[in-house]
Amino acid sequence: MKHLFLIWIPVLSWVAMGQTPASLSVQVSRTLTLTLDEAAFTITAGTSLEGTAQQVKQALEDNGIPNPTVTAIGLRQDTSVLSGAAQILYQATATVAAGSAKDASRNLENLRTHLPAPLTSLTYSAVFNPGQAAMDSARQAILPKLLAEAQTKAQSLAAASGLKLGSIRSVTDSALGTPAGVGAGFAVPVLINGVLSANPVSFSPTPVLSLNVIFGTAP
């Protein structure tokens, strides 16, 4: 999808003063197609009241989950046992390569069915995302093309307006729909407790990169 906007904010004042606009602004955009090369795991673990974040982290690492970040998120009653004992809830996050997601899921499933003390429960899910490296690579590949497109369109607009196009004065870029869990109607596979979800969450693997280029002009 491409968009072109010609912005003449100060035109009326220049016309009233009998002067010529000194700049021309062009906006162009491209949709980036990204590879979903990372699996972001979210793990919720319950422990007895004596359990610590370090013990949860150690249990995950012992089962092949790399560098999990663990934080306490609350307390609840454990209704899976007759005593209804209270348990601390911890949430952990970890990211692995998409190709390693199945192995990580198997490891978590093994942990879930063989809980070591003080763990009392464990659930997990994973969403497949494009990693930062994929984002950076796609951005670097598309920027020269966007600049060339902006130059061509600015030249056409300047000629149609009877102006001479000058050099680039400034360039700003922005990305919409970048990976942040925000949906845009695209189905992405999700692992939930070892099962590939039949109703995956919505997520956009095709963010839009926009470039705003301001050129100098002369009569």
CATH topology for the 38-129 domain: Alpha-Beta Plaits (3.30.70)
Cα(28)–Cα(10) distance, rounded to whole angstroms?
A: 21
Q: What is the pLDDT of residue 85?
A: 80
List the pLDDT tens digit at each of the 219 positions of the chain. Answer: 444 333 333 332 333 333 345 889 999 998 887 888 888 999 999 999 999 999 999 999 999 999 999 999 999 887 766 566 889 999 999 999 988 988 999 999 999 999 999 999 999 988 888 888 888 888 888 999 999 999 999 999 999 988 999 999 999 988 765 443 333 233 344 444 444 443 333 345 567 888 899 999 988
Q: Any idea where the domains of the chain sit in the sequence?
A: 5-34+131-218, 38-129
List b or e across 7-23, with b for residues whose CB sees 16 or more CB atoms inside 10 angstroms.
Answer: eeeeeeeeeeeeeebeb
Evaluate the CA torsion angle 159, 162, 165, 170 in order and state its sign: negative
In angstroms and rounded to an integer, the radius of gyration of the C-alpha atoms of the chain is 26
Q: What is the pLDDT of residue 94?
A: 96
Q: What is the pLDDT of residue 34?
A: 81
Q: What is the CATH number assigned to the segment(s) 5-34+131-218?
A: 3.30.110
Which stretches of 68-145 are assigned E, i.e. beta strand?
Answer: 69-77, 86-97, 119-129
Q: What is the pLDDT of residue 21?
A: 56
In the block, tokens 């002067």 appear at 19
